[in-house]
Amino acid sequence: MLFKEVIHAIRPHLMKDADVPGFMRNLIQMLCDIPEDEWYTKRDPSSEESYKDGSLRKFYTNKLSKKLAEKILSRLTRDNFLESIYDSNRSDVVLDGLAEDITPFANGVTKNNVGEKLFDLLKRGLEELIDPALENTRHQQEAQHKSNQLKGHYGSGLLDDCNNTCSMPGCSHHLQKLADDGRSTPDYEIIIINEKKSPSFSNICAVCHDCFEKYILKHTASERKELEAVKKLQTDARNARSTISEVHIDKGIKMVVESLINLKPSTLTSLNYEPTFIANKIDENENFLLAETVKNYVTKYYFYINQIMQNLSRQKQYSDELVRVEIKTICQRLEDKGFSQVEIYESISKQIHRITKQNIIYCNIVVCYFIQSCEVFHDITK
């Protein structure tokens, strides 16, 4: 609510010694043209005849009544208002303070134009009280303006974090427009997740136009929290990526994954016992699905992958030792940063996927191999 926010911002500078009703009466008098013969009568909206102290207090803390807003607007006087703002008794310090405190609501406010800017703000605030649709329009325009500004600074990073898909939970809109000739252009907006905080990278995300419109007009606290959770996942994944990209995994891993793809099921010999290491490395109570996945893949593919690696090493196509050190380093760094086992598993798998460009399932299988062979995860019993 613009009117309320603005009058709260200016009260410390204007009539700071007056109580709230006094401040409100004074403000009404500054804004309205009230002929002398109406003073103190019911026709004077600043009089006690019109509004009791209690009402004015309520108007200040909650919201001005529509009726009073209409009354003020019908008698609005710009000249009176400017005259009292620029009163010769008012010091430059006060004007500077006023200018500073209404800067969040208007552009380019200085002590020389603060009266005009303030008048326009209050007028717009009063109009919005009468027609709430105006308030929505203003919100949309402001949000759109911010979105455009933020795109320049953060756009590509945000699109990267959400994989070009709307960040809003439950929405899967693609954030790129694809032309027939194959060209794609970004097609998205940036929202500020928590309006009360600054629009820093940790408080913004990329969404589709529909979700943008809906969110900026109205959202519940739980919707905001959901979006904060999404943002956290995006940030964690980004940190994992940057941690991983500090260490490069030898391209030889590509050959291992490709051999796995060409595997014929008939050549597989499964382990005929439960892999022993897994139980010690993954807490089955906490990460049941991960433990099961790793157990299954290791039982089935461990020997086979081991063979592939040995063969490729002999042919000098794969440097076994190097890759193990690299995987181990990545795992260690992710652990140091407090990543969970599932996150580590996914991050390394995705990194192998980026190198090999092969189906993620094959990459998962290779990560499971490294868990069994001790490059990934520690013994939790230690």
Using CB under 5 A as the criterion, which residues of the chain lie in contact with Zn ion when the complex forms? 166, 168, 171, 173, 208, 211
Nearer to Zn ion, 178 or 360 (CB): 178
Question: Residue 111 is encoded by which pair of tokens?
Answer: 């002590």
Minimum distance from residue 165 beta carbon to Zn ion (Å): 9
Question: Residue 157 is encoded by which pair of tokens?
Answer: 């990073």
Nearer to Zn ion, 11 or 174 (CB): 174
Give, in order, the Cα–Cα distances in Å from 277 to each of 252, 291, 380. 26, 11, 10
Minimum distance from residue 274 beta carbon to Zn ion (Å): 45
Residue whose C-alpha is closest to residue 20's, from 47, 55, 44: 55
Minimum distance from residue 209 beta carbon to Zn ion (Å): 8
Q: State how far the Cα of 75 lies from the Cα of 282, in Å rounded to an integer.
A: 74
Nearer to Zn ion, 171 or 268 (CB): 171
Minimum distance from residue 173 beta carbon to Zn ion (Å): 4
Nearer to Zn ion, 208 or 376 (CB): 208
Nearer to Zn ion, 158 or 257 (CB): 158
Beta bridge partners of 186: 176
Parallel, antiparallel, or unpaired for β 204-207 and 189-192?
antiparallel
Sequence-separated (6 or more) residues with CB below 8 Å from residue 84 = 30
Beta bridge partners of 207: 189
Instruction: List, as one string, the DSSP characters of 14-58.
Output: SSTTS-HHHHHHHHHHHHB---GGGTTSTT-TTSTTT--HHHHHH
Residue whose C-alpha is closest to residue 371's, from 265, 300, 275, 304: 275
Residue whose C-alpha is closest to residue 363's, from 342, 345, 340, 344: 345
Minimum distance from residue 169 beta carbon to Zn ion (Å): 9
Question: Which residue do the tokens 């019908």 mark?
Answer: 74
Minimum distance from residue 180 beta carbon to Zn ion (Å): 24
Nearer to Zn ion, 210 or 274 (CB): 210
Q: State how far the Cα of 331 lies from the Cα of 4, in Å rounded to an integer.
A: 53
Minimum distance from residue 218 beta carbon to Zn ion (Å): 15
Minimum distance from residue 256 beta carbon to Zn ion (Å): 39
Nearer to Zn ion, 215 or 370 (CB): 215
Q: How many CA atoms lie within 13 A of 258 on its CB side?
A: 11
Residue whose C-alpha is closest to residue 279's, from 266, 263, 290: 290
Nearer to Zn ion, 95 or 158 (CB): 158
